[in-house]
Amino acid sequence: MYIRFFATLAVFSFFSSLNPAFAQKEISSQFHSWYMYFGNHRLSDRWGIHTEYQWRREGAGETWQQSLLRVGADYYADDKNTLTAGYAWVVTYPYGNQPVAATFTEHRIWQQWITQHRSGPLYVNHRYRLEQRFLEQPAESKYVFRQRFRYRLLLTLPIGRSELEDRTFFAAAYAELFVGFGKGIGRNIMDQSRLYAALGYRINPRVNVQVGYLNQYVIKPDGLRHERNHTLQAGLTWNVDFR
């Protein structure tokens, strides 16, 4: 089941670049590096705070691509299901071969449900996210409203052990699909797709690190400009339990 989903998303990314509806398309391949921090901090058995920052750079870090700050309130329904709602502040800069005309800000409201379980040696994580996006239009001094749904399947496999314990290496992979909906959607209903693979190390229940590769396929609003971004990702997860 999981392999089929990854394969389907890979095929979607490939055939998006061949779709005759985008006969005049321009595909730009480029390299980026994203340096990331994530934290889920427990305040009680039911409630917590999500914190996140992503420092997204063009190339190996020479210039800005994007800055993303995300915060939220977590509600732990049980040990397998978490509901979160929050806010993200995103600044996108001109970058690459298809740069935006000017740096712009996005204010993003988001809600998500994460549910997780075991399947043999695999830790399986499903994330469903809704986003309400307020995108700045610098030339017109206004914001436009867009909506998007995201689904991510994340698989984690301990290396050399049956459980993800302290001081354990692990392999991680995810596939994610972005779908726009509602008013104002252009020719990019299938907004983007992501395929990711990484090697990680769990230091203790609160801290782990990952280094991996992300293949991101983006279709711009006009449907004609596409990006295939090859991205190095380095991430730190640091959770604090205040209970």
pLDDT digits (tens, 9 = 90+) for 47-79: 999 999 999 999 988 899 999 999 999 999 999
2-238 topology per CATH: Porin (2.40.160)
Q: Which residue has the higher pLDDT, 123 or 19?
A: 123
pTM: 0.90
Joined together, the tokens standing for residue 189 give 């209903």
pLDDT digits (tens, 9 = 90+) for 8-25: 655 555 555 555 444 578
Q: Which sequence spans correspond to the domains of the chain? A: 2-238
